Amino acid sequence: MIAITERSVEREKSNVTFAEFLVKEENLCLKPKLIMIFSNTKDLRRIIQLSLEEIAGWQVFVADLDAQDLTLVTVIKPDVILLDTNLPNSDELRILQKIQDYPEIQNIPLVLLTERIFTSDRRFYNSLGIVAAIAKPCDMVTLATLISQRLKWD
């Protein structure tokens, strides 16, 4: 519910659209980003989760990379899937193949958190539908900013 305030009356006198006014005046409650993390490293998965939840205020769901079922992803429909992996590894490529088998989640951006980022790797990642790769180790304090920059979220 949006209350009518003196500021909203002032908005009527300006040339700002209602949506621009709401965002500018922070009268609009923007829903947090939903992030799905796949990682086989339990401790790192927890650190990433805490970083994104506490620093960015995002809602984070986690699963093992070798998870057999992607039902959770189809239900929550995250804004991004973060894969903590060391591609190319045939076992870890299976999660990408599974994602491509689910039409309802194929368009969710995939971000890779990996130790290997070479020019040749980037071409390989692009061929797999990965939109961004972030090198490990990375600063967990700035991880949300890196993801936002790579996905061009403002």
Q: Give kind and range of the element (H or E) at residue 66.
A: none
pLDDT tens by residue, 84-131: 876 666 566 777 778 878 888 888 999 988 887 777 777 777 877 888
Residue 123: how many CB atoms within 10 A of its CB? Answer: 9
pLDDT tens by residue, 57-80: 999 999 887 666 788 888 889 999
CA–CA distance, 96 with 83 (Å, rounded to integer):
9
Nearest in space to 125 (alpha carbons), one of 103, 145, 110: 110
Q: pTM for the full model?
A: 0.73
- Domains of the chain from N-terminus onward: 1-30 (no CATH), 31-151 (3.40.50.2300)
Q: Which residues contact 46 (CB under 8 A, 6 or more apart)?
A: 62
Amino acid at position 105, single letter: I
